[in-house]
Amino acid sequence: AQSVTQPDIHITVSEGASLELRCNYSYGATPYLFWYVQSPGQGLQLLLKYFSGDTLVQGIKGFEAEFKRSQSSFNLRKPSVHWSDAAEYFCAVGLYSSASKIIFGSGTRLSIRP
């Protein structure tokens, strides 16, 4: 069955430090890949997406992600985190373009150490 795995439940990084959040998917073909962020008490906001082409994608708020087919991974990175980045981050996959269903990973909670 198709699945999305975020191995890290909770990560704490110092403000100004770099960040990498891991995401692995299980699917035969290349899926449509997304990263969403959810601040406390808020809805989700799309950070970036990968459909095809350049495997390094840039998103909003200074985030980027790299698709690695050989590792079935789509890790999210940011060179220098800010206290406002503290939130829940969800990796998600869409299996084909006409599907409406996005399958979300279990999420990684990011805390920022002052």
From candidates 12, 18, 26, 42, binder to other proteins by CB under 8 A: 42
Q: Is 98 in the site for other proteins (CB under 8 A)?
A: yes
Q: Which residue has the tokens 């906001």?
A: 45
Q: Give dist(CA 68, CA 4) in Å, integer.
A: 14
Q: Is 83 in the site for other proteins (CB under 8 A)?
A: no
> Could you say which of 49, 75, 77, 86 contacts other proteins (CB under 8 A)?
49
Query: Measured from the CB of residue 16, what is the shortest distance to other proteins in angstroms?
Result: 28
Phi, psi of 105 (to 5 degrees): -75, 175
Instruction: Indicate whether 52 belongs to the interface with other proteins (CB under 8 A).
Output: no
From CA 99, how far away is CA 65, in angstroms rounded? 23
Binding of other proteins at residue 67 (CB under 8 A)?
A: no
Structure tokens at 77: 């990175």
CB 73 within 8 A of CB 65: no
Residues that bind other proteins (CB under 8 A): 32, 41-46, 49, 51, 90, 92, 94-102, 104-107
